[in-house]
Amino acid sequence: MADIEERMEKTIASLKDSFNTIRTGRANAAIFDKVRVDYYGTKSPLNQVATIAIPEARSVIITPFDKSLISEIEKAIQVADLGLNPSNDGKVIRIAIPALTADRRKELVKQAKTVAENSRTAIRNIRRDGNDELKKQQKDGELTEDGLKTETDKLQKLTDKYIDEINKIYDAKEKDIMQN
């Protein structure tokens, strides 16, 4: 059971990471988590080659540790397809986060819904693996019929708990995206 719960926790953590990269109308440093900058031939995460500051709700300032990387960072942000237009003044990169249109909000909610459904499916697959393991234990004589029923019920309760958590996380993200 501990292994199954750990796998379900990892699924929830993965869902939260995925949701962090879905842009809302406000500036958030997490949207740059997947941006990789070509740093002397090596693809490095943006947060390892620059600081990311959020001075206002709709703006981001990226200050590279090495000023020669400014054009590489700009290129990496454009390639990441975040729908953002970086501009630089030779020292820092400024990004204005545009307000989301109603259509774009709906697209992002759809994307979030898909990510949430994939996480629910992952939880159900973990439950199935757990049930298979329990049946195997019963077949091998390690578990009685009543023990199998008890453990299966525990597994279902655990599954329901994590599905509910996914739903709460999704509802919060949807609300965040749809806010003006």
- List the domains of the chain with CATH numbers: 1-23+101-179 (1.10.132.20), 29-96 (3.30.1360.40)
179: confidence class by pLDDT, cuts 50, 70, 90 = confident
Residue 6's pLDDT is 95
Structure token pair of residue 34: 């997947």
Q: Average of pLDDT values for 2-29?
A: 87
Query: Could you tell me if 35 and 76 are in contact, meaning their C-beta atoms sit under 8 angstroms apart?
Result: yes
24: confidence class by pLDDT, cuts 50, 70, 90 = confident
Residue 114's pLDDT is 95
Residue 180's pLDDT is 56
For residue 22, the one-letter residue type is I
Q: Any idea which residue has 């993200």 for tokens?
A: 173
Output the CA torsion 134→135→141→146 (10° steps): 80
Query: Could you tell me if 112 and 170 are in contact, meaning their C-beta atoms sit under 8 angstroms apart?
Result: yes
Percent of the chain at pLDDT exceeding 70: 99
Structure token pair of residue 91: 């020292």
Residue 178's pLDDT is 86
128: confidence class by pLDDT, cuts 50, 70, 90 = very high
